[in-house]
Amino acid sequence: MKIEVENLSKKYKGEYALKDVSFTLEEPKIYGLLGRNGAGKTTFMDILAGNILATSGSIRVDGEDPFDNRRITESICLIKEGNNFKKDLKVKQVLKLFAFFYPGWDEELAGNLVKSFGLPANAAVKSLSKGMESALGIITGLASKAPVTIFDEPYIGLDVAARKKFYELLLETYEADERTIILSTHLIDEVSLLFEEVLILQEGSLALQREAEFLRENVCTVSGAVEQVEYFLKGKEVIEKKTFAGMMTAYVYSSMKEARESGLQVESVPIQELMIYLTDGRKGA
């Protein structure tokens, strides 16, 4: 499903949570939606899922506004970090509700995942541990097979092994059945290899939208003598540079190959680090 965002703004009590954000998500892909605390990620995901209205601008999913629009919302599944389910419902009732709401619901996958995460089908949501409740969110998100599936920090309380299992399942189900997956997370290092495209929000504005592979190959740090580094940086987009004792290290948009050929010391920049630099109130991309 194509998602078109145009000059989208959302204000809460006069303050912008999102400000004039425009971008398009063309194809089914795994998108990483990143940004510091309060950057506007959850606000955006809530508007996309049709839960809240924007203050101005528009969002179109296959040409339609998702707000109060069942045809679109049955194609979008948003799993948040908690409170996804009514506390009094039993696990099996939650699954039934999701099966009723989502036309593409995969009953077999849901059943297998419930067993594999060891969830008690007859237990009420309120009796589940935090990790188990997160597992239920992950199960419903994956089994919804919604053409747009959004996970907003879905793993509170999940230990590292369970999170690893989530990433594997996400990839497996995505490869079997491509759809748009938007994953918002602060554990960027853990998941960045899954991302095909990365969007970074900074204080309500879009700071970056780029293919993950482009970022892996075309953002690097170069270090060496100040003059040598300055010479290399000429005409290039520099994210950040630091000088210490006659040596300079710069974060720059440049192919790793070109940087290596310059004879400078070159290192790749993990997406997590790039996010930190781009959202540090310094130069953006």
Ligand X SMILES: Nc1ncnc2c1ncn2[C@@H]1O[C@H](COP(=O)(O)OP(=O)(O)OP(=O)(O)O)[C@@H](O)[C@H]1O
Min dist. Cβ of residue 236 to ligand X (A): 30
Place of tokens 């300055």: 230
Q: How far apart are CA 85 and CA 125, in angstroms?
A: 7
35 part of the interface to ligand X, by CB under 6 A: yes
Q: Could you tell me which stretch among 12-20, 138-146, 241-249, 266-274 binds ligand X (CB under 6 A)?
A: 12-20
Burial call 76-114: b when 16+ CB within 10 Å, e when fewer: bbbbbbeebbeeeeebebbbeebbeebeebbeebbeebb
* Binding residue count for ligand X, defined by CB under 6 A: 11
- Rule CB under 6 A: is residue 239 a binding residue for ligand X? no
| Cα–Cα distance measured from residue 175 to residue 169, given in angstroms and rounded to the nearest whole number | 10
| Cβ atoms of residues 198 and 228 within 8 Å | no
The answer to whether residue 38 forms part of the interface with ligand X (CB under 6 A) is yes
What is the distance between the alpha carbons of residues 136 and 173, in angstroms, rounded to a whole number? 16
Piece in contact with ligand X (CB under 6 A), picked from 30-38, 217-225, 239-247, 254-262: 30-38
Instruction: Return the DSSP state at 126.
Output: G
* 267: helix, strand or coil: strand
Of the residues 1, 3, 5, 17, which one makes contact with ligand X according to CB under 6 A: 17
Q: Are strands 30-34 and 180-184 parallel, antiparallel or unpaired?
A: parallel
Taking the least distance from each CB to ligand X, the nearer of 192 and 218 is 192
Query: Is residue 278 part of the contact set for ligand X (CB under 6 A)?
Result: no
Q: How far apart are CA 32 and CA 115, in angstroms?
A: 28
Name which of 203 and 258 has its Cβ closer to ligand X: 203
- Smallest gap from residue 13 Cβ to ligand X (A): 6
Say whether residue 8 binds ligand X (CB under 6 A): no
User: Pick from 42, 73, 149, 279: which binds ligand X (CB under 6 A)?
Assistant: 42
CA distance 24 to 10: 18
Distance CA 219, CA 237 (A): 10
205 in contact with ligand X (CB under 6 A): no
State the nearest-atom distance from the C-beta of 274 to ligand X, in Å.
17
Give the single-character DSSP code of 27.
S
User: 42 or 75: whose CB is closer to ligand X?
Assistant: 42
43 is a site residue for ligand X (CB under 6 A): yes
Q: Which of 29, 41, 145, 216 binds ligand X (CB under 6 A)?
A: 41
Q: Is 12 in the site for ligand X (CB under 6 A)?
A: yes
Contact set with ligand X (CB under 6 A): 12-13, 17, 35, 37-43
